[in-house]
């Protein structure tokens, strides 16, 4: 093989720069990790050193195009610990009070915001004002109004805003999208997205509306919302929704336990989805057209993602989502690459508008029209 790029193009036409789980296709992994890379590297600071921030940092160890170089945290002990683990210099460490100073740090290109949902709005705007590229976790904000303000702030500061939609780079997912675009399923008629887990600990921020902005829909249901759009290949024009609550003690007012929602698309296709904090192992996408179907199960967890269609198994490599995501985001931010499914603020804003509409439909019992 002449070059790393040729190797990766041969490996897959869709998800470049794979990080392969140990034991899956280890020969590919070895060849990939040993290949030299001399292109630009995105230097990233992570804000919020919690559970998902830690996962991203670990996954970035295998990146060639992105590197963890800084941290922003409210917990000094974590900063110390991460400095040791990831070799982060003192000058690249910040807290929530002083991180605007990152403006004067030429060694950081981008900040990845991985804090509770309600904090994203202000933090993203501050990062943008400091002139750094922004990656923000999902949901990008609590509602569409906040999302619009964040997009405007990034535009004004001339920085890009990306959102951590890791499934947009996942090979099984991309293969279903490729097949749908190639008309292999015929005219798409139906999508079903089921997303849920048992939330556990009642004291966590995810069950505190002030920090989460809602319940299961903000956290896990968003995968079915976003997934219905990239699976069907259209944006919904109407929404209906129904909320059910079996445990009003754990799920307070404004924190949804279970929501079912339905979409109608311009082509006439429909979607039926369920989002819940009350059931484990609910993780399935099903797409049906006039000629065939695709099923992904699990469809959005950390993997391995598995899938099949009416033609058989989907034969794609198992990857570490966050490694591939950060490799691809480096290409988007540093080289202007266009991903197959967008991951920018405008894409996330569509999901926020749909979330607003689902909550409105659930509270009024009425069908809500959408114009995305």
Place of tokens 């069908």: 367
Member of 16, 42, 94, 164 binding ligand NDP (CB under 6 A):
164
Region near ligand NDP per CB under 6 A, out of 67-75, 83-91, 181-189, 228-236: 67-75
Q: Does 50 bind ligand NDP (CB under 6 A)?
A: yes
Please report, for the chain, how many H helices and E strands are present, in that order.
12, 15
User: Among the options 112, 165, 223, 359, which is catalytic?
Assistant: 223
Here the tokens at position 40 are: 């630009």
CA-CA-CA-CA torsion sign (54, 351, 17, 299): positive
User: Among the options 64, 65, 132, 138, which is catalytic?
Assistant: 138
Member of 13, 39, 74, 304 binding ligand NDP (CB under 6 A):
74
Q: What is the dihedral of CA 160, 127, 323, 220, to 10 degrees?
A: -90
Region near ligand NDP per CB under 6 A, out of 71-79, 229-237, 287-295, 304-312: 71-79
CB 232 within 8 Å of CB 219 = no
Q: How far apart are the first and last CA of the chain?
A: 45
Chain residue whose CB lies nearest ligand NDP = 50
| Cβ distance to ligand NDP smaller for residue 57 or 361 | 57
Q: What are phi and psi of 287, to 5 degrees?
A: -120, 130
Member of 22, 34, 38, 51 binding ligand NDP (CB under 6 A):
51
Here the tokens at position 225 are: 């919302």
138 carries an active-site annotation: yes
145 carries an active-site annotation: no
Member of 19, 29, 92, 115 binding ligand NDP (CB under 6 A):
115
Region near ligand NDP per CB under 6 A, out of 34-42, 110-118, 271-279, 280-288: 110-118
Least gap, CB of 177 to ligand NDP (angstroms):
19
Which residue, 28, 24, 1, is CA-closest to 12? 28
Which residue, 86, 56, 85, 54, is CA-closest to 69? 86
Interface with ligand NDP (CB under 6 A): 48-53, 73-75, 78, 114-117, 119, 137-138, 164, 166, 205, 211, 219
Q: Which residues are catalytic?
A: 138, 223
């Amino acid at each position: 093989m002449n070059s790393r790029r040729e190797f990766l193009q041969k490996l897959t036409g869709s998800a470049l720069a794979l990080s392969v789980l140990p034991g899956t296709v280890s020969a590919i992994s070895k060849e990939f990790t040993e290949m030299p890379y001399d292109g630009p590297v995105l230097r990233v600071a992570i804000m919020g050193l919690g559970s998902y921030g830690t996962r991203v940092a670990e996954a970035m160890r295998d990146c060639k195009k992105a590197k963890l170089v800084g941290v922003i945290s409210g917990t000094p002990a974590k900063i110390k610990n991460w400095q040791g683990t990831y070799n982060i210099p003192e000058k690249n460490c910040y807290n929530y009070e002083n991180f605007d100073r990152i403006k004067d740090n030429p060694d950081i290109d981008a900040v990845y915001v991985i804090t509770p949902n309600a904090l994203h709005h202000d933090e993203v705007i501050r990062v943008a004002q400091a002139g750094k590229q922004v990656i923000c976790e999902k949901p990008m904000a609590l509602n569409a109004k906040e999302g619009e303000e964040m997009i405007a702030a990034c535009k004004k500061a001339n920085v890009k805003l990306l959102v951590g939609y890791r499934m947009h780079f996942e090979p099984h997912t991309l293969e279903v999208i490729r097949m749908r675009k190639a008309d292999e399923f015929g005219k798409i008629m139906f999508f079903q997205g089921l997303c849920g887990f048992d939330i556990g600990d009642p004291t966590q921020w995810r069950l505190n509306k002030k920090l989460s902005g809602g319940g299961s829909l903000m956290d896990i249901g968003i995968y079915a919302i976003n997934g219905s759009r990239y699976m069907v290949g259209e944006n919904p024009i109407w929404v209906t929704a129904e909320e059910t609550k079996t445990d009003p003690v754990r799920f307070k007012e404004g924190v949804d336990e279970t929501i079912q929602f339905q979409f109608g698309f311009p082509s006439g296709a429909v979607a039926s989805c369920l989002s819940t904090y009350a059931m484990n192992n609910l993780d399935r996408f099903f797409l049906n057209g006039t000629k065939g179907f695709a099923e992904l199960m699990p469809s959005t967890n950390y993997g391995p993602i598995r899938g099949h269609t009416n033609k058989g198994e989907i034969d794609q490599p198992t990857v570490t989502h966050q490694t591939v995501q950060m490799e691809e985001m480096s290409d988007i931010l540093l080289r202007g690459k266009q991903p197959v499914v967008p991951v920018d603020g405008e894409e996330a804003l569509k999901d926020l508008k749909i979330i607003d509409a689902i909550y409105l439909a659930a509270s009024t019992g009425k069908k809500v029209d959408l114009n995305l």
